[in-house]
Amino acid sequence: MLFALICKDKPGHLQVRLDARPDHVAFLNGLNADKKLAFAGPFLDADGKPNGSMVVIEATDLAGAEALAAADPYAKAGLFEKVEIKPWTWVFNKPAEA
Protein backbone atom coordinates (compact mmCIF):
# COMPACT_ATOMS: atom_id res chain seq x y z
CA MET A 1 0.00 0.00 0.00
CA LEU A 2 1.28 3.48 -0.85
CA PHE A 3 1.35 6.40 1.58
CA ALA A 4 2.08 10.06 0.87
CA LEU A 5 4.11 11.84 3.52
CA ILE A 6 3.37 15.55 3.21
CA CYS A 7 5.87 17.38 5.36
CA LYS A 8 5.97 21.09 6.17
CA ASP A 9 9.23 22.56 7.45
CA LYS A 10 9.34 24.74 10.54
CA PRO A 11 9.86 28.39 9.54
CA GLY A 12 13.49 29.48 9.65
CA HIS A 13 14.85 25.92 9.55
CA LEU A 14 16.52 25.93 6.13
CA GLN A 15 19.95 25.34 7.70
CA VAL A 16 18.59 22.31 9.59
CA ARG A 17 17.41 20.93 6.24
CA LEU A 18 20.76 21.60 4.58
CA ASP A 19 22.73 20.05 7.46
CA ALA A 20 20.57 16.90 7.57
CA ARG A 21 20.30 16.50 3.78
CA PRO A 22 23.18 14.02 3.26
CA ASP A 23 21.70 11.65 5.87
CA HIS A 24 18.19 12.17 4.44
CA VAL A 25 19.40 11.32 0.92
CA ALA A 26 21.17 8.20 2.21
CA PHE A 27 17.98 7.20 4.05
CA LEU A 28 15.86 7.60 0.89
CA ASN A 29 18.43 5.71 -1.19
CA GLY A 30 18.13 2.86 1.33
CA LEU A 31 14.35 2.88 0.96
CA ASN A 32 14.77 2.83 -2.82
CA ALA A 33 17.04 -0.22 -2.57
CA ASP A 34 14.35 -1.96 -0.48
CA LYS A 35 11.68 -0.96 -3.06
CA LYS A 36 9.80 1.04 -0.42
CA LEU A 37 10.29 4.45 -2.06
CA ALA A 38 8.02 5.40 -4.96
CA PHE A 39 9.25 8.99 -5.33
CA ALA A 40 10.22 12.03 -3.28
CA GLY A 41 11.12 15.68 -3.57
CA PRO A 42 10.94 19.04 -1.86
CA PHE A 43 8.24 21.67 -1.95
CA LEU A 44 9.61 25.11 -2.82
CA ASP A 45 8.79 28.58 -1.56
CA ALA A 46 8.36 31.67 -3.77
CA ASP A 47 12.16 32.10 -3.85
CA GLY A 48 12.75 28.51 -4.98
CA LYS A 49 14.08 27.38 -1.59
CA PRO A 50 12.88 24.09 -0.09
CA ASN A 51 10.26 24.42 2.64
CA GLY A 52 8.80 20.94 2.88
CA SER A 53 8.81 17.48 1.35
CA MET A 54 6.55 15.00 -0.36
CA VAL A 55 7.65 11.41 -0.04
CA VAL A 56 5.57 8.50 -1.32
CA ILE A 57 6.46 5.18 0.24
CA GLU A 58 5.20 1.63 0.29
CA ALA A 59 4.27 0.20 3.67
CA THR A 60 2.02 -2.61 4.85
CA ASP A 61 -0.13 -0.27 6.96
CA LEU A 62 -0.33 3.18 8.53
CA ALA A 63 1.82 2.12 11.48
CA GLY A 64 4.58 1.04 9.09
CA ALA A 65 4.35 4.34 7.22
CA GLU A 66 4.53 6.25 10.52
CA ALA A 67 7.62 4.27 11.53
CA LEU A 68 9.36 5.05 8.23
CA ALA A 69 8.44 8.74 8.55
CA ALA A 70 9.82 8.88 12.10
CA ALA A 71 13.10 7.26 10.97
CA ASP A 72 13.79 9.97 8.37
CA PRO A 73 16.81 12.05 9.41
CA TYR A 74 14.84 15.23 8.66
CA ALA A 75 12.24 14.17 11.22
CA LYS A 76 14.94 13.20 13.73
CA ALA A 77 16.57 16.62 13.27
CA GLY A 78 13.30 18.35 14.17
CA LEU A 79 12.89 19.95 10.73
CA PHE A 80 9.18 19.39 10.30
CA GLU A 81 6.41 21.54 11.74
CA LYS A 82 3.78 19.12 10.49
CA VAL A 83 3.68 15.72 8.80
CA GLU A 84 0.52 14.33 7.25
CA ILE A 85 0.48 10.67 6.26
CA LYS A 86 -2.25 9.70 3.83
CA PRO A 87 -2.98 6.47 1.96
CA TRP A 88 -2.45 7.15 -1.74
CA THR A 89 -3.19 5.39 -5.01
CA TRP A 90 -1.05 5.88 -8.10
CA VAL A 91 -3.48 6.07 -11.05
CA PHE A 92 -1.95 8.13 -13.89
CA ASN A 93 1.53 7.81 -15.40
CA LYS A 94 2.40 4.92 -13.13
CA PRO A 95 5.74 3.42 -14.17
CA ALA A 96 5.69 -0.14 -15.48
CA GLU A 97 6.37 -2.73 -12.82
CA ALA A 98 9.64 -4.62 -13.13
pLDDT band at 97 (very low <50, low <70, confident <90, very high): low
In the chain, where are the structural domains located? Answer: 2-88
- What architecture (CATH level 2) is domain 2-88? 2-Layer Sandwich (3.30)
**For the sheet containing 80-88, what is the strand order?**
37-44, 50-58, 2-9, 80-88
Q: Mention every residue, 6+ apart, whose C-beta is less than 8 A from residue 4.
A: 54, 55, 56, 84, 85, 86, 87, 88
Task: Give per-residue burial for 85-98: e unless 16+ CB within 10 Å, then b.
Answer: beebeeeeeeeeee
pLDDT digits (tens, 9 = 90+) for 62-71: 999 999 999 9
What rounded mean pLDDT belongs to the chain? Answer: 95
